[in-house]
Amino acid sequence: MNQEDVKKTMEQICDFPIPATVSWKETAEKSLKGASYERKLLTQTYEGITIHPLYRKEDIAGLPFINVMPGQFPYTRGTSTSLPVKTPWEISQEIRESTPERFHCALKHDIQRGQNSLVIMLDQNAKLGIDPFDGKEAAGKEGLSICNAEDVKTALQSIEAADVPFHVETGEHPLPVFSLFLAALDGSVKELKGSIAADPFGAWVIKGELTYKLEKIFNGMAEIVRWCQEQECPVKTILVSTSPYHNGGASAVEELAYALATAVTYIEELKERRIPPEEAAKKIRFQFSIGSDYFLEIAKLRAARSLWANVMAAYTEDEKARKMNIHARTSSWTKTLYDPYVNILRASSEAFSAAIGQADSIQVSPFDESFQKPTSFSRRIARNTQVILQEEAHIGKTADAAGGSYYIETMTNELAEKAWKLFQEIERKGGMTKAIENGAVQKRVEDISSRKEIDINHRKKVFVGTNQYPDIEENPVSVIPEDDSQEIEEFVQKTTSKKRTEDIEERETRASIVYEGIERAKKGWTLGQIATWCGKQVPGNEITSIEQKRGAERFETLRKNALAFEEKSGEPLKTFLVNLGELRDYKPRADFVTGFFQTGGFKVISENGSLHAQEAVEKAMKAKAPFVVLCGKEEDYSTMAPEIIEGIKKTDPTVTVMIAGKTPDSLHTILTEKGLDGTVSLGSNAYELLKTLQQKKGAEAYEQA
């Protein structure tokens, strides 16, 4: 069959009328049998976006970026047109080892196995400008402990700085950590790739205070940008991270708006310090956490690029300055403690979103990150997730793979419009600094977080294995990280000798503070000494902090309570199901109630259905369970439930008796009079109900922080 024949055949096959949206909607409404189209088929996101069941070509007509090619302003469809690309994005995994020696070994191992970029997570001491010997308790916790430039050299001795990009978040003030790294990497300044960057606002909203005055922080930020210009050092030195807001429970709208407002504040502060906006912009690295809503997250990155391009268009015509550099990190908020291998699937989906959204570098969180220091095994799985996306799925070989999708294009535009509106509101009211100081940012994040919490409590927002479909018999993850406490202690002890006992030389700075900082680091000054020299002080600038959390934590606490109760009392928290009638009559509700209680760590006992009330009472009493739930059809509730409830309460008034599913008001009144304590249904607040039942047994006393 030649091409002309194929064309004729396809025309015959496809020769049918395309229905109008109105016609489709009318047909859809008929299938709903009287139910509301808006209620049944439209859903609302936390961003305030209405999701429709169908998107058509007319939905994207007139969108401002729809006819723009990849690599063209406003870069919605990506900042590059070069295809095919050898490396679509940096596989930029984090190594969270505690001492320089351990870090060096892990880095050498991972770089040889597919990782081509590095995220260096420093411990809290380093970010706060505290030497290991002055912060022994926190040394090596959650990251790498360093004291001076020699420690940095030890940690990075496995790589050539010119070949492997590395990324370091310095904490609120950039200079102390920047000085140590540049002193350690002396001689390769022009070849450095990656970032050694500070995000003072991010640190501020997490801690609720600053240990440097903002003026000193911005002075240091400006001086580092100026130094990099003079030395032709290409590393990015300014970080704008949305993770503090994402992990606080914010929606994509807040993430985008706060990223813009933060970046604009940094640019304006540097502009006052004689750094041109286009030069400041080229030094900014944006970091976005990528959540579980696959299409939304793709749209978020696309919207971010177009928003930033439009912001920078007001400052400069420099194309490089208008292009956003994006690092995407799979979400911490979405990960769970229980059924942790599911985190591998969550991270894979999130990484896929980041890749389709065309992030410049991607970091996949290891599945055990939420409860232990990641092991070499969990790091390998996370790393290979990216390798598979690049080498087997071939993501990145197509420019803007999401382009043209009616759904994604529409969502990109709606996200951009809503984020732009919030950004303008922040700017009208004085900018991001004031918004943080007066608590407007924190309040909005908390409002969204509260809405998510309500949905999680009601199990409308699902965490598989935690608040839905729990595996109550699951065995804990057996891959346990090596104990490094002895090595940390030895490292801290060794660093004590690095502390200078003589007075620190104080003199008027002859050059910029960056030159001075690097020189002092080369002379052996410790991180803490450089931080003090930079103006570190008693914490101030107190604000309301944004609590960093995971969505599943409340249900995880219920499970911990139940386990602790069983260990202390010798028996589990038990719930007995009084099943009424035949299997087909009670099974749907019995299955629902079983899963409902198991999310709180309760052991659920179930037997065959009872055909008589007295039989049901006898089974309930024999089970010796403090909680009893009746499961069956409404007809059985009407005929047997009053007698069963009354019989249980007369035999043991301490037993809590509930019923599965909603009942008519008239029947509910009768059952309540007989002693019914409550109902378990789809509309129940699972967390609050299970917590209340645990309190009745005293299990809450075992709650773990």
Confidence (pLDDT) at 15 = 67
CA distance 501 to 430: 46
Give CA separation, 175 vs 221, 222, 560, 631, 688, in Å: 8, 10, 42, 65, 47
Same domain, 688 and 558: yes
Mean pLDDT on 149-165? 89
Pairing of strands 43-44, 50-51: antiparallel
Confidence (pLDDT) at 506 = 53
Question: Is 547 within the bounds of a domain?
Answer: no
Residue 393: strand, helix, or coil: coil
Distant-in-sequence, close-in-space partners of 9: CB < 8 Å, separation ≥ 6? 1
* 685, pLDDT greater than 60: yes
Which domain covers residue 659, as residue numbers? Answer: 553-702
Question: Is 68 within the bounds of a domain?
Answer: no
* 135, pLDDT greater than 60: yes
Q: What is the CATH number of the domain that holds 609?
A: 3.40.50.280
* 586, pLDDT greater than 90: yes
State the angle between helix axes of 252-272 and 406-428 in degrees (0 to 180), rounded to the nearest 10: 50
Banded pLDDT at 23 (limits 50, 70, 90): confident
* 510, pLDDT greater than 60: no
Banded pLDDT at 505 (limits 50, 70, 90): low
Same domain, 352 and 208: yes
* 1, pLDDT greater than 60: no
Lowest average pLDDT, out of 65-69, 283-287, 385-389, 444-448, goes to 65-69
CA distance 6 to 151: 68
449: its two tokens: 């977080």
Banded pLDDT at 480 (limits 50, 70, 90): low
Banded pLDDT at 567 (limits 50, 70, 90): very high
In the chain, % of residues over pLDDT 90: 78
2: its two tokens: 């030649």
* Contact of 550 with 593, CB cutoff 8 Å: no
Q: What is the CATH number of the domain that holds 362?
A: 3.20.20.240
Domain termination site, one of 457, 489, 520:
457
Same domain, 558 and 453: no
* 72, pLDDT greater than 50: yes
Number of neighbouring beta carbons within 10 Å of residue 560: 18
Question: Is 613 within the bounds of a domain?
Answer: yes
Residues forming beta bridges with residue 593, ordered by sequence position:
none
Residue 195: strand, helix, or coil: strand
* 348, pLDDT greater than 90: yes
Banded pLDDT at 473 (limits 50, 70, 90): confident
CB burial string 602-617: b at 16+ within 10 A, e below: bbbbbeebbeebeebb
Banded pLDDT at 142 (limits 50, 70, 90): confident
* 138, pLDDT greater than 80: yes
* 98, pLDDT greater than 70: yes
Residue 578: strand, helix, or coil: strand
Confidence (pLDDT) at 88 = 87
* 700, pLDDT greater than 80: no
Name which residue leads in pLDDT, 36 or 171: 171
Q: Per-residue pLDDT tens for 361-395?
A: 999 999 999 998 899 899 999 999 999 999 999 98
Give CA separation, 541 vs 76, 203, 270, 660, in Å: 37, 12, 20, 52
CA distance 123 to 317: 40
* Alpha-helical regions (H) of 509-633: 513-522, 527-533, 553-569, 583-598, 613-623
Same domain, 135 and 260: yes
Question: Is 476 within the bounds of a domain?
Answer: no
Mean pLDDT on 256-267? 98
CA distance 664 to 654: 26
Mean pLDDT on 217-244? 97
4: its two tokens: 């002309």
Confidence (pLDDT) at 705 = 41
Same domain, 384 and 258: yes
* 478, pLDDT greater than 90: no
Rounded to 5 degrees, what angle do the CA atoms 153, 210, 425 make?
115
Confidence (pLDDT) at 161 = 76
Banded pLDDT at 501 (limits 50, 70, 90): very low
Confidence (pLDDT) at 85 = 63
Banded pLDDT at 34 (limits 50, 70, 90): confident
Give CA separation, 78 vs 3, 62, 386, in Å: 35, 20, 19
CA distance 378 to 363: 13
Give CA separation, 622 vs 257, 352, 396, 605, 651, in Å: 60, 52, 62, 11, 11
Name which residue leads in pLDDT, 5 or 480: 5
Q: Per-residue pLDDT tens for 412-437?
A: 999 999 999 999 999 999 999 999 99
Handedness of CA 435, 436, 437, 440 (dihedral sign): positive
* 502, pLDDT greater than 80: no
Mean pLDDT on 184-194? 87
Name which residue leads in pLDDT, 443 or 40: 443
Closest CA to 250 of 261, 265, 238, 264: 261
* 95, pLDDT greater than 80: yes
Domain termination site, one of 457, 479, 504:
457
Confidence (pLDDT) at 640 = 95
CA distance 486 to 496: 16
Question: Is 540 within the bounds of a domain?
Answer: no
* 10, pLDDT greater than 90: no
* Contact of 272 with 309, CB cutoff 8 Å: no
Residue 43: strand, helix, or coil: strand
Question: Is 576 within the bounds of a domain?
Answer: yes
Confidence (pLDDT) at 327 = 98
DSSP result, 85-142: -S-SSEEEEEE--SSHHHHHHHHHHHHTTT--EEEE-B-HHHHHT--GGG-GGGTTTT
Domains identified in the chain, total number: 2
Banded pLDDT at 356 (limits 50, 70, 90): very high
Mean pLDDT of the chain: 92
Domain termination site, one of 426, 457, 488:
457
Tell me which residue has tokens 């709903």.
32
Lowest average pLDDT, out of 472-476, 478-482, 606-610, 669-673, goes to 478-482
Q: Per-residue pLDDT tens for 525-561?
A: 999 999 999 999 888 889 999 999 999 999 999 999 9
Lowest average pLDDT, out of 1-10, 219-228, 397-406, 459-468, goes to 1-10
* 481, pLDDT greater than 50: yes
Tell me which residue has tokens 């936390």.
46
Tell me which residue has tokens 């009601």.
458
Tell me which residue has tokens 């509101």.
425
Q: What secondary structure letter does DSSP report for 256?
A: H
Q: Per-residue pLDDT tens for 288-335?
A: 999 999 999 999 999 999 999 999 999 999 999 999 999 999 999 999
Mean pLDDT on 641-656? 96
Banded pLDDT at 479 (limits 50, 70, 90): low
Identity at 164, one-letter amino acid code: V
643: its two tokens: 């007698």
Closest CA to 293 of 346, 356, 360, 248: 346
Question: Is 467 within the bounds of a domain?
Answer: no
48: its two tokens: 């305030």
CA distance 126 to 145: 7
Mean pLDDT on 244-268? 98
